[in-house]
Structure 1
Amino acid sequence: MVFIAALVAAILALGTAAGPALATARWTVRHPGTALACWAGVIVGILASVTGLVALALLWPPAPGHGLLERFHSCLADHAHGGLVWASLTSGALIGFCCFRATRVLPRLWRAVSRRRRHMEVLRLVARADDRNADVLVLDHPIPVAYCIPAQGRSIVVSSGARERLDVRQLDAVLAHERTHLRHRHHLVLLLLDLVHALMPRVPTLRRARTSVPALLEMIADDAAARRCGREALAGALRSLQPVVAPAGALAAAGAQERTHRRLARLEASRRPVRGARPLGWVTAAGAAAGPLALVVLAMAAVPLPC
């Protein structure tokens, strides 16, 4: 069947080839926002293709699901044969597998939200409000760290060691970096990516996305902070802050040491936009998402209804 073949081809292309191509492309460093849109389009395309393939496997005659529908349809007498029993059992197995994957995602989401809530509860007990910034909590600790965690009220955490080590412009750059994360809902992007990977952990593109997308989010926040406070101030802040692993549900200004080194090299290098990369990237992102979605809509419209 042409629709099944097309969806399988889309899954293979997006799930195996698109991830390595995006992860190794050099232009993504200069256009992280466009690269993030490409990743989003590819992931949406993968989800649409897999969903459409499962739906067709369940509903297209003589696929299992169509037999299940016919078994409960008024015209059952006209189609009563032994194959419907096996079709119904196969449909139940496929539906059960999908439900099993969903049961891995929901507890994961609950744990992430619970850890974030507990962390904020502890912070409100041990940290104090910053009298100069309405969205900052100051944690009395000598290690210079800064991170943000989505919450109502004060959602940026800066240690007293960071405030002592950073000058005014460097601290402003760190705050601008964290506010960009919060304003663009980068925490939600990472949470959704984690959930999608939990659903389909063996897809190569999704494994690549788990390492590439967080780096792109940091670049986007770096660019916003650099435009506001200057590259030198942000680079100096990154050198002064202690590289730490952010708490669950948080984004740190200085994350893993290797990633911080790459960010510093990017800030210190002279960068020129790659001509044509941005419009081509947005066209690629739109095509990666819209193509599978349109294919799924056409396939569902062509599914014969039970008689």
Structure 2
Amino acid sequence: MIVSMAGLLMSAVVLGCLAGPVLDRLRRPALSPATAAACWVAALVGAVVAGAGLVAVALLSPPGPGHGLLGRLRDCLPHHGYPAIAAATAASLILVTGCGAALARSLPRLGRAVRHRRRHREMLRLVAREHRRHPDVLVLDHPVPVAYSLPARRRAIVVSTGAQESLSAAEFGAVLAHERAHLRQRHHALLLMLDLVHALLPWLPTVRRAKARLPLLLEMAADDAAARACGRRALVDALCRLSAAPGAAGALGATGGPGRGRLAERVRRLEAAEPVGPRRAVRLAAGAFATTAVAAPLLVGAAAIAELAMIC
């Protein structure tokens, strides 16, 4: 048990405190934005899993308040049939889901963002119209050039009439490719997860640095997808034309919302000469880190719970 707890504690320290500063020093071309974002997400998930494992072990190990629970389950379950066990499992899952929903509601900032996003979608249904050529685009009658995406089952991309009038066909296609990359790569869900982790563990250095760095990496990853589809020049021109547009709360816009310094960094990166891609060894190392960051805390936590079940 001491070894398992030490492993969980080491995972929490390495991923929650040390991984962030190291990842923050990595810049292109050492890692592509998509690969760097995957490493950040893996570090966040691993830190949360390690922290949850420490809490679970502290609650279940003697003389914690959950001491004896695993032993009672071990002695009780063999006396019941599979239907009863399945029903109990389903009830437990419902209970855990309810607790998770209650936790989300207890976080005011995250709750406000979700409600604002929902109201935004409802408003768009009233004031926006469908695009004639693109089935996933809504058109908003407004002179300010705006383009952004919201997580939705259909018509998730919003563009204004000002954007349509100010952008050429190539630039408009680059903007749509950028927003479709956000939706395809589930960037909205990643940012929502980042907000949740930041609300729960704002004191961890990795979480603080991810809050500042990950949104920009996701924008750059979408830039790469749009540049491959439509060319760098069209995307740069589109970003410059949309640079004066305000950001929509709860949405991912092509210009990245507030923070013009970030937009300037993206434009400089796109205007630079085609960089040499990261080496295969670097990509393998990044993949190994992401896999280990998630798998190691899970395995150590599972081993700790199994050891508790034997001694309780």
1:104-128 deviations in Å (ceiling 9; x for gaps): 6565554333211211222222222
Partner of 2:128: 127
2:15 is the counterpart of 1:14: yes
Q: TM-score under structure 1 normalisation?
A: 0.83
**Alpha-carbon deviation of 1:189?**
1.0
1:69-218 to structure 2, matched below 5 A, reads: 102=103, 108-218=109-219
Q: Distance in 1 between matches of 2:109 and 2:197?
A: 11
**Alpha-carbon deviation of 1:49?**
0.7
Which residue, out of 278, 290, 294, partners 2:295?
A: 290
Q: Is the 8 A contact 1:102 1:199 kept in 2?
A: no
Partner of 1:54: 55
Rg: which structure is higher?
1
2:229 is the counterpart of 1:225: no
The sequence identity of aligned pairs, in percent, is 53
Partner of 2:44: 43
Q: Distance in 1 between matches of 2:248 and 2:107?
A: 20
Q: Distance in 2 between matches of 1:244 and 1:63?
A: 55
Which residue, out of 305, 308, 311, partners 1:303?
A: 308
Q: Give the match's secondary structure for 1:188.
A: helix
1:225-274 deviations in Å (ceiling 9; x for gaps): 10111000000100110344532321000123111111101111121112
CA gap of 1:296–1:282, structure 2 versus 1, over 3 A, is same
Q: Where do 5+ consecutive residues of structure 1 fail to align?
A: 75-97
Letter in 2 for 1:208: R
Letter in 2 for 1:293: L
Q: Distance in 1 between matches of 2:255 and 2:113?
A: 21
1:88-146 deviations in Å (ceiling 9; x for gaps): xxxxxxxxxx99x9366565554333211211222222222222222212222221111
Partner of 1:266: 269
Q: Distance in 2 between matches of 1:220 and 1:29?
A: 14
Letter in 2 for 1:112: A
CA gap of 1:269–1:102, structure 2 versus 1, over 3 A, is same
CA RMSD of aligned residues (A): 2.8
Q: Give the match's secondary structure for 1:303.
A: helix
**Alpha-carbon deviation of 1:64?**
4.4
Q: TM-score under structure 2 normalisation?
A: 0.82
Q: Where do 5+ consecutive residues of structure 2 fail to align?
A: 76-98
Q: Distance in 2 between matches of 1:228 and 1:278?
A: 23
Q: Is the 8 A contact 2:30 2:282 kept in 1?
A: no
Q: Is the 8 A contact 2:146 2:245 kept in 1?
A: yes
Partner of 1:66: 67
**Alpha-carbon deviation of 1:149?**
0.9
Partner of 1:235: 236
Structure 1 range deviating more: 60-69 or 262-271: 60-69
CA gap of 1:70–1:121, structure 2 versus 1, over 3 A, is closer
Q: Distance in 2 between matches of 1:206 and 1:3?
A: 24
Moved over 4 A (4+): 67-71, 103-110, 304-307
Letter in 2 for 1:266: R
